[in-house]
Structure 1
Amino acid sequence: MNLDPNQVTTYANTFINVLIDYSPKLISAFVILFVGLYAVRLINRFIRRVMIKRNLEPTLTNFLADLLLWVLRVILFVSFISKLGIETSSFVAILGAMGLAVGLSLQGSLSNFAGGMLIILFKPIKVGDFIEAQGVSGTVNEIQIFVTKLITTNNQTIFIPNGSLSNGNIINYSMEQIRRADLTIAISYATNIKEAIEIIKVVLKSNPKVLQTPAADVSVKNLTDSAIQIAVRPWATNEDFWTMYAETLQNCKEAFDEAGIRIQPFVTESSYTHKSLE
């Protein structure tokens, strides 16, 4: 194929003329792009600092900052292609169609996303709370956008989808500053009930981890076929709860041993019936 030198020259001149005419738009578009990227980073850092100073939740701070970052990037990209002379209306329509398709295919994920937003905004739980939900319990380690991460007492990691978490029952043991223990101590029918109750009250008063206000409740809970059940309900701070729980049981057992009071062992209905038949 033979090329005509005059035709090549014409094409080259046309290309140079178009480049010269288009170069201001090209230069200004890239200036907007680079300056915009730098400005977006500055704005994002500034917003993060403001939210941190306002003591917002770390999860909410990170999410809002990341969301703002991507929104500004999309606006910057649309401005960039618009400056190049590309029609943006069709581009926006394509983005909308893509967003609808992605939304329909990720309905479950969107439900978890909405649940995460509800948890972050209304704060039924926060990082560090000990909760029980969806049949599991543990300390909230991280509230992500789609899942909430729990660490159990035996150091296992559990991820709960935020959609299920936000729509189900949540027991938050850490929301209040103090917590009540519900203990049951069974004694034999040969025991003096008043004496046993007084011993338990002395044990509770001698434990500094048991709060005196509100006062602990010690009363007869139930009379079973094999034992008298005494309800022991002391209060403690969340920090001292489990230590107080264990110490109360141990101290009551030791005090009963000194007083000669026998704690009635648990007797099942089948074993009790079998013993009676013998």
Structure 2
Amino acid sequence: MDSILTWLNENSGLILHYGIQAVIALVIFLLGSRIAKFCAGLTEKAFDKKKVDKAVGSFVSSIVYAIVFAATILMALSQIGIETTSFIAILGAAGLAVGLALQGSLSNFASGVLIILLRPFKSGEFVEAGGKMGTVKKIEIFSTELRTPDNKVIIVPNSQIMSGAITNFSRESTRRIDLVIGVSYEADLRKTKEVLQSVLDAESRLLKDPAYTVAVSELADSSVNFIVRPWVNSGDYWPTYWSLLENIKIALDDADIAIPYPQMDVHLHKQD
């Protein structure tokens, strides 16, 4: 115990010096992390003010945060006496090894940059990407956040998005509804076509140009199939889709036109 007290007395100045340095480093770290958040928020607000896509703003702000935060850590380490030049060299060598181990993360980062540059979608658009469907909320450095129609949040890695097909349902202002309506072989085809056309004519949300299409598409095993293809504004797609299905079924029932069940004819032959 006496030896410890002696050592503390002999090195009190050194302890005080490094203690002050450690406190300053801690203050730099805490202040720098706040500055990083502030800069990221300021960047995102600047993009919002310029009416740039929110996804782009969130992506750039996350990069700004990472850069400022990394600089803060280097400043804090320098304050407590760690040589940052050699530290950066060590980080570079370690970064190469870590980069090889984290190829997936680097691939996600590169894919995020490509998403920002190529702009296959933007914030607020409804897409199918990486095998998932939803409305784009944010594009981060490594992943993209989607919101499903039933309000679930899906985080999709950027590399998964860029490695497959991307379907953007919101990019165009109009969409075509594709319905296949099967009727019985006993049904009057001319009458059936008139019934389907009357349902379409009564739907106010359908566009006049391009005009809708109603035609026989297939003589199937159990039914004669009609294709019904009207055009609507993209925002009206699902309400119109559901409404047409209901009204077509009601109209066919009122006209005594049957929608057949799948059926199979079995022929039995008696053998002596």
Question: TM-score normalized by structure 1?
Answer: 0.73
| Map of 2:186 onto structure 1 | 190
Instruction: Report the count of equivalent residues.
Output: 248
Match of 1:97 among 93, 97, 116: 93
Q: Greater CA deviation, 110-119 or 40-49?
A: 40-49
Partners of 1:203 and 1:128 in 2: CA distance: 33
Q: For residues 220 and 39 of structure 1, do their structure 2 counterparts lie closer, same or farther at Cα, with a shift above 3 Å needed? A: closer
Partners of 2:221 and 2:37 in 1: CA distance: 73
Match of 1:255 among 247, 251, 258: 251
Q: CA deviation at 1:217?
A: 0.7
Q: For residues 138 and 203 of structure 1, do their structure 2 counterparts lie closer, same or farther at Cα, with a shift above 3 Å needed? A: same
| Map of 2:133 onto structure 1 | 137
Q: CA deviation at 1:93?
A: 1.1
Is contact 2:63–2:141 with CA below 8 Å preserved after alignment? no
Which one-letter code corresponds to 2:103 in the other structure? Q
Q: Greater CA deviation, 238-247 or 146-155?
A: 146-155
| Map of 2:228 onto structure 1 | 232
Match of 2:157 among 149, 157, 161: 161
Q: For residues 226 and 77 of structure 1, do their structure 2 counterparts lie closer, same or farther at Cα, with a shift above 3 Å needed? A: closer
Partners of 1:43 and 1:136 in 2: CA distance: 32
Is contact 1:205–1:212 with CA below 8 Å preserved after alignment? no
Q: CA deviation at 1:72?
A: 4.2
Q: CA deviation at 1:246?
A: 1.4
| Map of 1:272 onto structure 2 | 264
Q: CA deviation at 1:176?
A: 1.2
| SS of residue in 1 equivalent to 2:111 | helix
Is contact 2:184–2:258 with CA below 8 Å preserved after alignment? yes
| Map of 1:5 onto structure 2 | none
Which one-letter code corresponds to 1:261 in the other structure? I
Partners of 2:150 and 2:72 in 1: CA distance: 48
| Map of 1:201 onto structure 2 | 197
Q: CA deviation at 1:133?
A: 3.4
| Map of 1:213 onto structure 2 | 209
Does residue 149 of the first structure (1) align with residue 141 of the second (2)? no
Q: What runs of 5+ residues in structure 2 fail to find an aligned partner?
A: 1-9
Does residue 177 of the first structure (1) align with residue 169 of the second (2)? no
Q: For residues 86 and 176 of structure 1, do their structure 2 counterparts lie closer, same or farther at Cα, with a shift above 3 Å needed? A: same
Does residue 67 of the first structure (1) align with residue 59 of the second (2)? no
Identity between Structure 1 and Structure 2 (%): 38
Partners of 2:38 and 2:162 in 1: CA distance: 34
Deviation readout 1:169-197 (Å, 9 max, x if unpaired): 11121221111111011112222222211
Which one-letter code corresponds to 2:223 in the other structure? A
Q: What runs of 5+ residues in structure 1 fail to find an aligned partner?
A: 1-10, 20-25
| SS of residue in 2 equivalent to 1:272 | coil
Partners of 2:261 and 2:132 in 1: CA distance: 27
Partners of 1:106 and 1:39 in 2: CA distance: 28
Partners of 1:210 and 1:246 in 2: CA distance: 13
| SS of residue in 2 equivalent to 1:71 | helix
| SS of residue in 1 equivalent to 2:232 | strand
Does residue 119 of the first structure (1) align with residue 119 of the second (2)? no
Deviation readout 1:10-43 (Å, 9 max, x if unpaired): x99xx89xx9xxxxxx9xx99xx79x95987876
Does residue 223 of the first structure (1) align with residue 219 of the second (2)? yes
Partners of 1:143 and 1:42 in 2: CA distance: 19
Partners of 1:43 and 1:225 in 2: CA distance: 66
